[in-house]
A and B are shown apart, each in its own frame.
Chain A
Amino acid sequence: MESGQGRIKPSKRRTIVRSVLALGLALACVSAVKREDFKTCSQSGFCARNRAYADIAKETPQWASPFQLNPSSLRLHKGVLTGDLINVQEDKQPSDKPALAFELHLLDTDAARVRINERNPIHPRYDGVQDTVLIKPYGHATEESYQKLGKDENGVLTIQYGAQNQNTVRISSAPFKIEFLVNGVPTVLLNDEGLLRFERLRKKEEPKVEEEGEKQGEEANSDPLVEQNAGGNEIEIAIEKSDLEKKLEENLWEEKFKEFTDSKPRGPESFGMDITFSGINHVYGIPEHASSLSLKATRGPDAPYTDPYRLYNLDVFEYEGDNPMALYGSVPFMLGHSKNSTAAVFWMNAAETWIDVEKSPEDKTGGILSWIKSKKTAQSAATKTHWISEAGVLDLFVFLGPTHRDIFRQYASLVGTTALPQAFSIAYHQCRWNYNNQQDVAEVDAGFDEHDIPYDVLWLDIEHTNGKRYFTWDEAKFPNPTEMQESLSTKGRKMVTIIDPHIKKDGDYHVSKEGAELDVYIKNKDGSSDFDGWCWPGSSQWIDFYNPKARDWWASQFSYDKYIGSTKSLFTWNDMNEPSVFSGPEITIPKDVIHYGNVEHRNVHNLYGTMFHSATAQGLTHRNETNQRPFVLSRAFFAGTQRFGAIWTGDNVASWEHLELASPMLLTIGLSGIPFSGADVGGFFGSPDAELLTRWYQAGIYYPFFRAHAHLDSKRREPWLFGEPYTTQIREAIRTRYTLLPFWYTLFQEASVEGTPIIRPMFTVFPEDEAVFGMDDQYMVGDAILVKPVVKSAVVQSNVYFAGKEKWFDIKDYSVEQGPGFKDIDSPADKIPVYQRAGTIVPKRERPRRSSKAMENDPFTLVVALDSKGEASGRLYLDDGESFNYEKGDYILTEFKVSNGVLSSRKVESATASGESSFTEKAGGLRIERLVILGATAPLKKVTVGDRTVQVNCSLVGGSYVCTVKEPQVTIGKDFDLSFA
């Protein structure tokens, strides 16, 4: 406003005020997440220090890591190489610090493990993550399986290992560096950039900042590169370096964020190291972030993100898309993939961790962008990552494949595979915060039957309790919970109630009281008084699941006589287990609180939710004598969570953006070992319109965990509430999920044995097709079904990529597309593109039923999609869906194969078959009522089983024959051969 204009009339002034307000409102809508509640790297002392170290390395010409292995200390014995790791810089100063202990383990699975720890620290660094994350002590490679090739002239030690001797590890002593090679090609490099840094535990003393700065200044001056620069620059660079050096000494002890102070009594103990994926442009994993499948650069010119990816389990309200901010769960597992190689690492640490990603330019023409590195010779493609953890020991596993399947198996052999779930839990779940009372529950249940929409589980959120006291009921609203569950159970349906880890502080509440008596709460930093914070019930305490007594006590709460009103058909939802603490820093618990065994929370933060999840699963498993598998959904997760149940992507938003985000998020979580995951269908916050909700159901039926959920403030959205045509479209979608349940269950069984993801990124199925490496808007269910969700409004056509050279068949009308290449496919309101790949056989159950339980005795349909050679294969796994009898071999696993015009069915005999076979006997007689054979080049004329002819009808659909074989009179329990011509 110019003062010369004089007074502004009131009316004008009002307009200005309004427009400012409107702007404020718009901003509020765009940025729902409260970013200022959460730390950036620069607000997290150890992250800033390690990043500054990386800056120094980057800006120092001919930077060399100060770490060296003492060659005379190296010993290789029974698959384990040990030695002393020295920081020569530290040794320049008078120091009596012992060297770091270095270990390299070669595992019997062809994986390798690298450990770096302090020898004789002033107090032990936390090394307990392995006790809870690793499923069992692993075996080491036998002495015959590896070969020490000796040292070369540069002191590089080379060991060859692996089942086919395909792997090589080269250990350089000075500077310290490890290279993993597959068939002679460098693949994973450790400390190649020299960013290894290890903050030794120490006693608090006055910092000598000036001296450090001076020293660094001298070094900079003596640098030949700097001398080449003009005089003015010289000073500038010198000052900058000294600033970076200062940064290395910042926030070592007490640290503040907003109104919170982290006391950090042990001082700095962080460490970091770079891991380079050589020859690899795409890296994946390190969930959970609302970001793309292929990770984006956080460092270097043109990096889309300025902060590193952060792993720190947090309750983030209305999180934003395309962002490396931490969310509810953490899995420090990263997989790199190129046309020629695939490798992965697992950074086994549960403290706060940040990961920088930097990509070498694929194309060298953009050289101006990398002038800083100009002195380095042009390198081939590589992804450089920098891992930074706040506490604990450096403990890294390296998996070299050579295939994805090998990596998934190798990783799963350490942290476990997904538990085989209750069959109902992979069907449809109906949830809302909240179904208000028994009447409401009965009406919603009846609504599904009335509208002929199948569902399996009805969920109750926090309002069902008496004042957020878990394991209790609001008796006015739910006077008879047992009857309510039994009423659902007669239709094969289950119920889930929420149980959170915060316990209302209330002497009259039995759980609170028992917890206090048993002394099982997390302690304040003084180590003796109970920590007290705020959550849904108000003043609360958090159970310390690191205390074995607490875990057993917690598990015992689920027995029927303790959890009054629970029945066999009641299962559990663990929420707020990051843990969410409304009154805490970053909405979580302070890092300096104390767990059992005097363990500071900062060491185990990212595992807390999993410990809770695990104790709950234990409770459900042992609550009865009925031999039932547990089902527990958790929001927080870590490596190993898959052993305890499902997870979901937390509090998303009813927006197209969040529908789109769900695919990359779930793919990332899945490839990181946790296949049983889903996103809230419809979006948790806000109210979706009918189109968004319908599109979300069409996508959601292809999430491994399929649940609709809604916030208290949102409009009701049960599937029939929007009327036609939406009810029919949603019914059709949910029914499609139900017809494919045999296929899904078979995939879960495969995951439970092999550690494979269930929904799979395109690149894992087509590893040589570079066009799919960054693709996350379409994906595969198993290796057979391609899904491309519609994630924009008013879309009637989708651009689908058909990979490979084979055909693809629309799963609804069997129309055919030929790969490879992109094609525009109709995706009208009632369907999204979903295709079955030629060469696969998909088992289905096509009869509409009201729950998965009601399908138990239904016959099967096999959809056989022949490839260009006339071949196809697939499998079917079936068990009772609820007990552990499958462990005793009481299951049916059948492999189907077509070649030379014969479909053969062969039962895979169980290795563990013993005793129990009641299910096998009962279900073995289930018949295959129908075969649909796709891709035949001519109509089938004759189908026979033995000497019996079976009816077949063929029709031409879009240039290809669809042949339906009626009642071949074969069963899943008995081998057969069916010939067709």
Chain B
Amino acid sequence: MKTHSVCFPILATLALSAAVTIANVSNNNAPRGVSPSNAKLYVPDNVNNWSCLDGSKTIPFSAVNDDYCDCIDGSDEPGTSACGTGQFYCANIGHTPSNIKTSRVNDGVCDEECCDGSDEYDGQTQCPNVCEEVGATAREENDRIQSVQNEGARLRRGFIKHGKANKVLLTNELETLRSQVDHVQLALNDARDAANEAQEAYLEGSKSEREATRKQQLEPLIQEQTKRLKYASEVRDMLKLTLQSLKENHNKNFHDMAVKGTVSGFDDYIVAQGEKTETVEDDLATLSSDRQFDALMDETSVVLRDIGTLHDLLDGMKRDYNTEYNDEAVLAAVKVTDDFEITWDSSRLDFADVEHLVLPEELPVDSPEAEKFRDAMDSAQEVFNDASGKESKVQEGIRDIERKLNMDFGPDETFAQLVDNCFDFKDTEYTYSVCLFGDANQNSHSSTHLGKFSGWEGDNYDVQMYTGGAKCWNGPERSVKLVMSCGTTTEIVSVTEPEKCEYLFKLQTPAVCPIPEGEVDEQEHQQEQQQVEEGEEHTRKHDEL
């Protein structure tokens, strides 16, 4: 190396001089950039040669860190950027040692990971040694994280305890319930038979009187419902007309996505309409009063659903359209929507302040014979209702437990604690909510479904997917990726939309705090001992919920 400086006395700067320095700077026997633990790999053989770490080549030991890449694996240049593929060791005294990519050595950037500044030694960039401060801050931060993790782990152990106990408990409960199924089923069947018999007897005994009474009773209701159907049909046609006119007259040059979405949604609607086979009732008059009424109700609800769909289209546009375009066709449609919305209750899919007509109970027919039959029928019905109640309670219980047992709460049942727990997050525009293992929504003045829990992503039990949410205009169905990190409380810390209609929820929760290794088994052991009493406690809690 010395010969070089003789040959190039003028080149006092930069790389050549750097190369000269390198050869001389090899502290603690380890060449620059090599960690103390790897120092033994960088020792010359007896003829002062050295082999690349992958064994591919033997070079003079002087070629190590000579700022020229000899080895294919880059192992000869741990202290320079010549190969750029290896690791450079920063001692970071006062903080923690670290390895950075050798491609970041002498690149003019004071790498954060290399707080001692040893990565920039060519004299082009001065990197102060900030390890003392960085170290202190890091230690503080470490302490904080450590205490969060400790607390988180403690809480998580509780989750696990709960989850495991709960699972046993639910399994037991399920068994109990299942053992009751045959019994309640049998009782229900018997009761049903008895009730049917009693009813038949009653009907046979009072047929003609009942029919006459019934017709009189339902007449005004049928008239009322016919009126409602007519009105609803008119409203639907008006909304269709509004959308048709929007479609034809809006200014396509504005590329307003909200308007485009509504128009294409309307096209879809029309197509769907075209595909429906018209179910025209033959002749209402020939039907019994009950069936007439039912048919009217059915038809009305079809029309109301249509109105709901059309309103959704208009409302979607109304919420998102660009108010600055002043497109007359759009403004007209918005006006219609505004006027219409006063009269409409979208949660019930019906006009506001309208109560649904309900098919009334048959009026009792006055005759002692019939009365007797009816009393018998009523008491049989009561028995049946009771049996049916018991049966469905058992079935419901089974379904609920099965749902929970089928859920993947992680290998240690941590997430049983959080099932159906709901969390909100407010940003400037919206409030986002998620019920874990349930649904995610975006709420402002109305609610948009972002997706339903569809499973875990990866094997770490810290990322959940919620999919199949409301479809975006000109985009996919909305979905949520929920990413969890360790915290002492469970809450949403941020919500973003990295790409259109695909949301990212960040949730902190003890459920993903690391539990120190080895502790888990111990926990399990303890848990088994306590299982029974814990289980009982949790049952009480569960019932309260």
Contacts and interface: CB of A to CB of B under 8 A. Distances in A.
Interface of A: 10, 14, 17-18, 21, 317, 436-437, 439-440, 452, 476, 490-492, 534, 537-539, 582-584, 587, 712-716, 847-850, 853-859, 922, 925-927, 929-930, 948, 966-967, 969, 971
B4 A969 contact: yes
Contact of B106 (A17, A18, A857, A927): A857
Contacts of B96: none
Nearest to B475: A713
B67 interface: yes
Contacts of A714: 499
Contacts of A922: 13
Contacts of A21: 271
A716 B481 CA distance: 14
A925 to B, nearest CB: 4
B300 to A, nearest CB: 23
Contacts of B494: 439
B8 A969 contact: yes
Contacts of A855: 107
B301 interface: no
A859 B103 contact: no
Contacts of B41: none
Contacts of A853: 108
Given A440-B496, A847-B81, A857-B124, A969 B7 contact: yes
B104 interface: yes
B14 A583 contact: no
B16 A927 contact: yes
B366 interface: no
B109 A854 contact: yes
Given A716-B499, A926-B15, A929-B15, 17 more contacts: A10-B277, A14-B274, A14-B277, A21-B271, A452-B103, A492-B108, A537-B324, A716-B498, A847-B82, A848-B84, A849-B84, A859-B67, A927-B14, A929-B67, A929-B82, A966-B70, A969-B8
A436 B107 contact: no
Contacts of A854: 104, 107-109
Contact of B253 (A534, A712, A856, A925): A534
B185 to A, nearest CB: 41
Contacts of A10: 277
A856 B108 contact: yes
Interface in B252-272: 253-255, 271
19 contacts: A14-B274, A18-B275, A436-B498, A440-B496, A452-B103, A476-B428, A490-B109, A537-B324, A582-B253, A582-B255, A584-B253, A713-B475, A848-B103, A849-B81, A850-B107, A854-B104, A857-B14, A859-B15, A929-B82
Contact of B68 (A587, A856, A858, A929): A929
B16 A849 contact: no
B14 A925 contact: yes
A948 B7 CA distance: 9
Interface in B444-487: 474-475
Given A849-B84, A925-B14, A492 B109 contact: yes
A848 B107 CA distance: 10
Contacts of B108: 492, 853-854, 856-857
A857 B253 contact: no
B499 A715 contact: yes
A317 B428 CA distance: 33
Given A439-B496, A712-B500, A850-B104, A858 B253 contact: no
Nearest to B125: A857
B231 interface: no
B39 interface: no
Give 5 nearest A-B pairs by CB, closest first. Answer: A538-B324, A854-B107, A848-B84, A582-B253, A925-B14
A587 to B, nearest CB: 6
A507 B296 CA distance: 57
B24 to A, nearest CB: 18
A927 B15 contact: yes
Contacts of B322: 538
Q: Is the interface of A mostly helix, strand, loop or mixed?
A: loop
B407 interface: no
B84 A926 contact: no
Given A440-B496, A452-B101, A539 B15 contact: no
Contacts of B277: 10, 14
A713 B103 contact: no
A539 B327 CA distance: 11
B105 to A, nearest CB: 10
A400 to B, nearest CB: 45
B430 interface: no
B33 to A, nearest CB: 15
A18 B272 CA distance: 10
Contacts of A539: 324, 326
A926 B106 CA distance: 14
Interface centre among B14, B67, B85, B106 (most CB of A within 10 A): B14
Contacts of A848: 84-85, 103
B325 A538 contact: yes
A387 B250 CA distance: 38
Contacts of A537: 324
B122 interface: yes
Nearest to B101: A452
Contacts of B324: 537-539
A532 to B, nearest CB: 11
Contacts of B4: 969
B11 interface: yes
Nearest to A587: B253
Contact of B254 (A14, A583, A847): A583
B253 A967 contact: no
A929 B81 CA distance: 12
B431 interface: no
Interface in B306-329: 322-326
Contacts of B103: 452, 847-850
Interface string B5-23: 0011001011110000000
Nearest to A856: B108
Interface in B61-107: 66-68, 70, 81-82, 84-85, 101, 103-104, 106-107
A437 B312 CA distance: 31
B250 to A, nearest CB: 12
A129 B446 CA distance: 56
A582 B254 contact: yes
A475 to B, nearest CB: 10
A929 B277 CA distance: 79
A848 B254 CA distance: 46
B497 interface: yes
A853 B479 CA distance: 40
Interface string B28-72: 000000000000000000000000000000000000001110100
B124 A436 contact: no
Nearest to A535: B254
B217 interface: no
A971 B85 contact: no
B275 A17 contact: yes
Contacts of A583: 251, 253-254
A849 B107 contact: yes
Contacts of A857: 14-15, 106, 108, 122, 124
B66 to A, nearest CB: 8
Contacts of A452: 101, 103
Contacts of A712: 500
Contacts of A966: 68, 70
A720 B428 CA distance: 31
Contacts of A926: 14-15
Contacts of A534: 253-254, 325
A759 B326 CA distance: 46
A847 B496 contact: no
Most B CB contacts (10 A, CB to CB) among A584, A849, A853, A930 go to A849
A440 B274 contact: no
Contacts of A967: 66, 68
Contacts of B124: 857
Nearest to B427: A476
